[in-house]
Amino acid sequence: MSSNTANNRYSTGMATRRAVLGDSHVDNAEKTKTAFDEPFQDLITEAAWGHVWSRPEWTRRERSMVTIALLAALGHDEEVAMHVRATANTGATPEDLREAMLHVAIYAGVPAANHAIKIIKNTLAAMSGEA
């Protein structure tokens, strides 16, 4: 991959990452980045955000629902909460998340969905100021 392609993918990725996760989240990640995790941060910015999340075939809403379902199925609790917070920017609704959790229950197991539902409910409540 040429250096221009990598630079473009990084720039596109950073813009998408900020649009989805919000400036505050990304600014904090950038501020706390060290030499140890800088290659990882570059990787996720270029690959996840610059390549996958920036593709035009799916909307951010669709990517958000799939991402949350996958993270829930894999038991990645902190990432589930982070991506639920990102729904404020992606347009995925609580109803979308409910439907995604029904899929998780059937295809990945009821315990995974049950646990993720608790995280989603708590995160949505915190987002609406009810927590």
Average pLDDT along the chain, 131 residues, taken 10 residues at a time:
79 98 96 96 96 97 98 98 98 98 98 98 94 57
pTM: 0.92
> What are the structural domain ranges in the chain?
1-57, 59-131
Residues 6+ apart with CB under 8 A from 120: 68, 80, 84, 94, 97, 101
What would the CATH number be for the domain defined by 59-131? 1.20.1290.10
